[in-house]
Amino acid sequence: MTGLGGLLALPAWRGTAVLAGEPGGVSLRTVVLLDAPDQLGASGAREALVVLAGPSWRSAPAWQLDALLRRAADAGARAVLLAGTDPLPGPTRLLCTRLELCVLGGEAALLDLATAAAVHLAAPEVASARAVLDVSRAVADGRVSGPGPLVALCARLLGAPVALADASGSVLHGDLALVVPRPAEPVVQRDRTAAGAVTARPVLLPGLRSVQRWLVARVPADSGPVAVGAAEDLLCAASTAVAGWLAAERTAVERDARGRAALLTDVLRLTGEPSPELRQRAAAAGWPLAGWHVGVRVRTGGATDVAGLRAEALRRSAEAGLQLVLAEHGDGWSGWWSTDRSPSAVEVRHLAERFRRLHEGLRQLTGCATGVGRPHQGPAGVARTLSEAADAALLAAGRPEQGRFLHVDQLGVAQTLLAWTRTETFEPAARSLLEPLLADPSLVQTLGVYLDAESSLSETATTLGIHRNTVAQRVARIERLLEVSLGDHEQRLALQLACRAVGPGGPGGPGGSGGRT
Amino acid sequence: MPDTIDDDDGWAVRAVSAADAPALVRGADVLGSGGGGDARPAGLLFAHAVGAGAVQLLDPDGATDHAVSFVGMVGAASAFTEELPGGGEFARALRAVERWTGARATALASLEAAGLNGLTALATAVSCALPVVDVDLCGRALPRLEQFSLAVVDGALPPLALALPGGHVLVVEGGDGPRCERVVRAVLAAEGGWAAMATAPVRRADWARVGPVRTTRRCLELGARLEALGASVSNDDVTAALGARLLGAGRVVEVARRAGAGFGRGSACVRDQRTSALLRLEMENEYLVAFEDGAPVATTPDLLVVLERRTARVVACDRIRRGDDVVVLQLPAAAFWGHPEHAAQVAPRAFGLDVDPVLALQPAGSPW
């Protein structure tokens, strides 16, 4: 009870009369003692009881009291206390009704009344501060060592249900009936329900944008706005403790991820038999090196919390029907599936389906691109299939039309190579290589046909329907412009690829066919 | 006779006749800002004196070579109304100050061209056969001698002669504005309550720098517009006719009066019919400050005018009663008071009201 009604019921306030306005429903936050009207700032008295402690306002001209009441109301005051219980002039009473300001006259010393009011108004805040302190002490002293007991302590201190939920809002500890109003918005939330006011606070870790956990409490409907504020304060204190535990867990996760990344690097370097030491480390990590392996590479981009999502990735692969070894990279995961015998073509196709399902699951989460390698045998096979998967994943990133999922089996080697020339990184390089020729499209065309025709002038002339001498002239001009010799086989190779990328059929060119596999 | 100035708006030299009296009275009441005394008796006085003739009203710009004596009534307007002048008081005061200073006045002007003094100079001009220069010392009604523009500009007043209704004549010379004010008040309290006053003839090259100008013309124009409105007019019509700002309109819910150190004080509260806002008018002899819901919205030296809603007649401070149905307007003060070096004497603090001035802007090119 922190309304004006509560103050009027105080024993110290006996004899205080309402001189103007309606005391019912007036809520108060603080008490402001006023000697002179200029002390009131623009909002210095929000939800305050202003006590006119200065010279007697009773003997001042009516306009001065009016002006003061107006300033108090403008500053946010809800009530004014002045000395004496004599009635106010009629217009001043009208003004108070208009300003929604309640004026009280006190018989007792104003300072005593103000003190009693201040103590009364501060009581709920003191109680709330005590609860916050209890939580902090319990955590600091180690009496509460985990989220479960913390939630129980908060519930006991608040006398209301409290819960800890994960990022999606499903309850991990505490009252299962509590719901996070809008789990997608990482801000403190308030929601009014029939059962009471629900308040939810996100637990965040520095450096990670996503919400880690939610702390939720429901304050019964009849306990008022102050109780909601107290609950929010308490959840705030509890959230720092939860964040601390999460950070500790996180450190362990990162340490494991680093260990796996180091082991993966060593496995990928394998060309022959692994050393006994590597074998031991792989066995300790539960990584099968013997048998046949099919690798997968998931590229997510650097912003994804790869270590934090590992458990989720494993869960989704289990859902897709895959038992995978999974290791973290800076921008995603590498994983492989192992079997004792050489998988048949049908099995590989089924497997690819499952990998695609895994990819679909992860893609909703991270927007990733995924590549799958071919089956290879033995410890060195792990490295080979993962390397194929990595190439496929790189290509997949440029293929939205295939859902950014590629299986190396679908690609001939020549196609893989050609596909490389269609990537976003190769095309600008090709363009800069052919830059001197781009002003004249016929030169690029001639160069492409000439190289395809194994450097035969007459065949080029036939293909293009021009004279042989024209071709010879153009080739000479091309060599001059590019400052290369077309007799050099390496230059020839580079230029031929570049012509594929830039010429007709290449990206940006007419009739570009990014969809070829 | 000075050369007539070639001015086609008709105000360079304006003949004011008995026919102008009704408009003059209404305009002078408006510029009284609730004080200055009821102009009607003075209107009768002027109409009776001028008969079928006319008084020349000279525009100040063309009257700079005139020696102007400012005349008017000082003291309680109610006493003036009760003990009406014999008719010769103003001329007697003028002759006395002329004799004292040895200078002849070639024209008259009003001490304050508002309230009943809006017409006393014109009435006197008839009996003295002098023209009237349209310049005055207040531009509205003001209660104290130290607030006269001559005192504000020069720091002192010229010699003054007072002709009391009992027949005595008094000359006051020397001393600053407040001293003169104290002496004159003491005499009035002791003898009759009012006196006709005339200043020594004053000659100035630029009347606009000495006093508010064309206040009588303002009275005539505002009065004529009010007369033209006729009876039963709307608030908006009156507001537009006067070029005013509407502060509120409704019933007077309370009038409180109290005795002060000098003049009596009081406040009238009007509850706006449309918005229910509470408009408090703090008054001395004039309405000084208007507070809307406790916040000042208009202050002296602007004119706060209270009109009876039905008739658009001015309700003076001493007449306002609980239950009156009124319109409250704000009119901009004469441009003279807009200068910062002139404003202090007429700002709310000069009347003991600790409020910053809240003024309306005089429209550009305004003649007053």
A444 interfacial to chain B (CB closer than 8 Å): no
Which residue does chain A place closest to B290, by CA atoms?
A: A63
CA distance B30 to chain A (A): 24
Which residue does chain A place closest to B283, by CA atoms?
A: A63
As given in the structure block, the two tokens for residue B144 are 């104290």
Q: Percent of chain A beyond pLDDT 70? A: 92
**Predicted pLDDT at B314:** 94
A437 Cβ neighbours under 8 A, 6+ residues apart: A443, A444, A447, A478, A481, A482
**Hey, are the CB atoms on A67 and B267 less than 8 Å from each other?**
no
**Hey, are the CB atoms on B289 and A62 less than 8 Å from each other?**
no
Interface test with A, best of B255, B271, B281, B291 (most A CBs within 10 A): B291
The answer to whether the bond into B301 is cis (omega within 30° of 0) is: yes
CA distance A30 to chain B (A): 24
| Helix, strand counts (H, E) of chain B | 10, 15
Instruction: Identify which has the larger pLDDT, A345 or A147.
Output: A147
**Predicted pLDDT at A410:** 63
A67 interfacial to chain B (CB closer than 8 Å): yes
Measured distance CA(A141)–CA(A390) in Å, rounded: 50
B276 interfacial to chain A (CB closer than 8 Å): yes
**Predicted pLDDT at A499:** 81
Measured distance CA(A341)–CA(A157) in Å, rounded: 61
Instruction: Specify which residues A263 forms β-bridges with.
Output: none
Question: Dihedral of the CA atoms B42, B48, B49, B51 (nearest 10)?
Answer: 140
Q: Is-contact A317 A334, C-beta < 8 A?
A: no
**Phi, psi of A91, rounded to the nearest 5 degrees:** -60, -35
Q: Is-contact B124 B107, C-beta < 8 A?
A: no
Q: Which residue, among A297, A309, A504, has the nearest Cα to A396 in the 3D structure?
A: A297
Give the pLDDT band of residue A419 (cuts 50, 70, 90). low
Measured distance CA(B338)–CA(B362) in Å, rounded: 9
**Phi, psi of B231, rounded to the nearest 5 degrees:** -90, 165
Measured distance CA(A348)–CA(A353) in Å, rounded: 9
Q: Which residues of B touch A63 (CB under 8 A)?
A: 267, 280, 282, 289, 291, 294, 353
Q: pTM of the prediction?
A: 0.63
Per-residue model confidence as pLDDT tens digits over B23-49: 999 999 999 999 999 999 899 989 999
Q: Is-contact B113 B27, C-beta < 8 A?
A: no
**Phi, psi of A262, rounded to the nearest 5 degrees:** -65, -45
Average pLDDT of every residue of chain A: 84
Which H helix or E strand runs over B227? Answer: helix B215-229
Measured distance CA(A220)–CA(A36) in Å, rounded: 42
Per-residue model confidence as pLDDT tens digits over A35-82: 777 777 766 788 888 888 866 777 888 898 999 899 899 888 999 999
Count of A–B CB contacts within 8 Å? 56
Per-residue pLDDT, averaged over A386-398, amounts to 84
**Predicted pLDDT at B4:** 46
A369 interfacial to chain B (CB closer than 8 Å): no
Look at residue B366 and give its three-state secondary structure: coil
CA distance B294 to chain A (A): 4
Q: Is-contact A88 A193, C-beta < 8 A?
A: no
As given in the structure block, the two tokens for residue A391 are 């190439």
Measured distance CA(A242)–CA(A246) in Å, rounded: 6
Which residue does chain B place closest to A65, by CA atoms?
A: B294
Q: Which residue, among A60, A59, A102, has the nearest Cα to A81 in the 3D structure?
A: A102
Measured distance CA(A26)–CA(A81) in Å, rounded: 14
Instruction: Specify which residues B56 forms β-bridges with.
Output: B15
Bridge-based pairing of strands B107-110 and B68-75 is: parallel
**Hey, are the CB atoms on A94 and B295 less than 8 Å from each other?**
no
Which H helix or E strand runs over B254? Answer: strand B245-258
Whole-number Cα distances in Å, A328 to A2, A98, A271: 56, 68, 22
Measured distance CA(A2)–CA(A128) in Å, rounded: 14
Q: Is-contact A422 A514, C-beta < 8 A?
A: yes
CA distance A60 to chain B (A): 12
Bridge-based pairing of strands A369-372 and A332-339 is: unpaired
Per-residue model confidence as pLDDT tens digits over B187-230: 999 888 899 999 999 999 999 888 899 999 999 999 999 999 87
A75 interfacial to chain B (CB closer than 8 Å): no
**Predicted pLDDT at A453:** 80
Look at residue A349 and give its three-state secondary structure: helix
Give the pLDDT band of residue A379 (cuts 50, 70, 90). confident
Interface of B with A in 139-198 (CB under 8 A): none
Per-residue model confidence as pLDDT tens digits over B6-29: 455 788 899 999 999 999 999 999
Beta strands in A133-260 (DSSP E): 162-166, 171-174, 189-193, 196-203, 213-220
**Hey, are the CB atoms on A95 and B278 less than 8 Å from each other?**
yes
**Phi, psi of B189, rounded to the nearest 5 degrees:** -65, -35
**Hey, are the CB atoms on A90 and B253 less than 8 Å from each other?**
yes
Sign of the torsion angle spanned by Cα atoms A408, A414, A417, A421 = negative
The pLDDT of residue A513 is above 60: no
Measured distance CA(A464)–CA(A445) in Å, rounded: 9
Measured distance CA(B197)–CA(B80) in Å, rounded: 13
- A61, A67, A91 ranked by CB distance to B254: nearest: A91
Question: Dihedral of the CA atoms B94, B99, B101, B106 (nearest 10)?
Answer: 50
Measured distance CA(B113)–CA(B130) in Å, rounded: 17
Per-residue model confidence as pLDDT tens digits over B238-293: 999 999 999 999 999 999 998 866 788 899 999 999 999 999 999 999 999 999 99
Measured distance CA(B168)–CA(B144) in Å, rounded: 22
**Hey, are the CB atoms on A98 and B265 less than 8 Å from each other?**
no
Which residue does chain B place closest to A70, by CA atoms?
A: B294
H helix intervals, A274-330: 276-285, 310-319
- From the CB of residue B318, how many other CB atoms can be counted at a distance below 10 Å? 17
Q: Which of A452-456, A466-470, B258-262, B363-367 shows the lowest per-residue confidence on average (mean pLDDT)?
A: B258-262
What is the 3-state secondary structure of B79-128?
HHHHCCCCCCHHHHHHHHHHHHHCCCCCEEEECCCCCCHHHHHHHHHHHH
Q: Which residue, among A336, A369, A362, has the nearest Cα to A351 in the 3D structure?
A: A336
Measured distance CA(A253)–CA(A273) in Å, rounded: 30
**Predicted pLDDT at A225:** 67
Instruction: Identify which has the larger pLDDT, A428 or A255.
Output: A255
Interface of A with B in 6-65 (CB under 8 A): 61-64
Give the pLDDT band of residue A426 (cuts 50, 70, 90). confident
Q: Which residue, among A164, A158, A194, has the nearest Cα to A178 in the 3D structure?
A: A164
Measured distance CA(B343)–CA(B330) in Å, rounded: 17
Measured distance CA(A299)–CA(A306) in Å, rounded: 10
In terms of Cβ atoms closer than 10 Å to its own Cβ (0-12, 13-18, 19+), residue A480 is exposed
In this structure, which amino acid lies at residue B176? D
Bridge-based pairing of strands A171-174 and B132-136 is: unpaired
**Predicted pLDDT at A496:** 83
Give the pLDDT band of residue A422 (cuts 50, 70, 90). low
- A68, A73, A94 ranked by CB distance to B278: nearest: A94
Q: Which residues of B touch A95 (CB under 8 A)?
A: 278, 293-294
Q: Which of A80-84, A303-307, A367-371, B18-22 shows the lowest per-residue confidence on average (mean pLDDT)?
A: A303-307
Measured CA angle at A393 (ends A391, A396), to 5 deg: 115
Q: Is-contact A150 A137, C-beta < 8 A?
A: no
Q: Which of A496-500, B60-64, B120-124 shows the lowest per-residue confidence on average (mean pLDDT)?
A: A496-500
Measured distance CA(A196)–CA(A210) in Å, rounded: 28
**Predicted pLDDT at A421:** 66
CA distance A63 to chain B (A): 7
**Hey, are the CB atoms on A91 and B265 less than 8 Å from each other?**
no
**Hey, are the CB atoms on B294 and A61 less than 8 Å from each other?**
no
B358 interfacial to chain A (CB closer than 8 Å): no
Q: How far is CA A184 from the centre of its chain?
A: 9
Per-residue pLDDT, averaged over A435-441, amounts to 84
Measured distance CA(A58)–CA(B310) in Å, rounded: 37
Measured distance CA(B121)–CA(B111) in Å, rounded: 8
Which H helix or E strand runs over A74? Answer: helix A62-74
Per-residue pLDDT, averaged over B139-166, amounts to 92
Q: What is the ipTM of this complex?
A: 0.84
